[in-house]
Amino acid sequence: MATILQIETATQVCSVALSIDGKTICVKEEIGQNLHASNLTLFIEDVIHAAKLTYQDLDAIAISKGPGSYTGLRIGVSTAKGLCYALDKPLIAIETLKMMAAGFIAENQFSGLICPMIDARRMEVYTAVFDTELNALEPTSAKIINETSFGNLLATNQITFFGDGAAKCVETLQQSNASFSEANFNSAKYMSLLANQAFQQSDFEDIAYFEPFYLKDFVVTQPKKKV
């Protein structure tokens, strides 16, 4: 029986969940700018207390590894690593887009393929395409969306686009096989099945060397000088 603490900080959602044998038993989350640094450890304490567990009751820590916000990922991974070191527990890393796809499949009746999207900049998104068995038909990548995006798959498949990057693509992806969902599945509770599977397979990360999946290099922009 695996008790796993799950952390999602790849987007504006600060989310923490606890699962036992792949079933979510407790979750706390909030959406907003710059929440992760101030709220993450408090949310962790809250879910452990609500579940009437202690930190030593945990069997593993699971982190949503990206792609996503550079700052959010750094905070989430640093927190997860610290807990793993302090508690001597293994670290599990779940790709964020796959977590989102798992959530969509769990909550919806649909046909065709699914395409989670995380907002990047301008018309760029972090995205992948999955079938109903969570097989990746298009691997995770950073895409600049235009009228021809996903053209080969849309020619023969219905694709549902969702996530915080999907809304800005509605006007561009006008193909008849494209549909859009406003639902957001950036939640640690949708990590439960994937994290449990990884635990059962002993699919753990090297805590010392693990880094978030940024996908793109972090770019520091300098503020414009005032004249």
Question: Which pLDDT tens digit goes with each residue over 99-142?
Answer: 999 999 999 988 899 999 999 988 899 999 999 999 999 999 99
What is each CA distance from 57 to 88, 162, 165, in whole angstroms? 12, 35, 37
Query: For residue 227, is pLDDT > 80?
Result: no
Where on the phi/psi map is residue 95: left (φ > 0), alpha (ψ -120 to 50), or beta? Answer: beta
Q: How far apart are the first and last CA of the chain?
A: 63
Beta bridge partners of 125: 119, 143
* Rounded Cα gap, residues 94 and 73, in angstroms: 12
For the chain, give the mean pLDDT: 93
The domain segmentation of the chain, as residue ranges, is 3-96+186-200, 109-180
Q: For residue 33, what are the contacts with CB-CB under 8 A and spacing of at least 6?
A: 12
pTM above 0.85, yes or no: yes
Contact between 130 and 80 (Cβ < 8 Å): no
Please report, for the chain, how many H helices and E strands are present, in that order.
5, 10
Contact between 161 and 117 (Cβ < 8 Å): yes
Query: For residue 221, is pLDDT > 50?
Result: no
Question: Which pLDDT tens digit goes with each residue over 21-61?
Answer: 999 999 999 998 888 999 999 999 999 999 999 999 999 99
What CATH architecture does domain 109-180 belong to?
2-Layer Sandwich (3.30)
DSSP state of 52: T
Average pLDDT over residues 189-202: 98
**Strand (E) positions, the chain?**
3-8, 13-20, 23-31, 60-64, 91-94, 113-119, 124-130, 136-144, 159-162, 178-180
Whether domain 3-96+186-200 has CATH 3.40.50.2300: no
Q: 19-30: b or e for each residue (b if 16 or more CB lie within 10 Å)?
A: bbebebbbbbbe
Q: What angle do CA 134, 99, 9 make, to 5 degrees?
A: 160
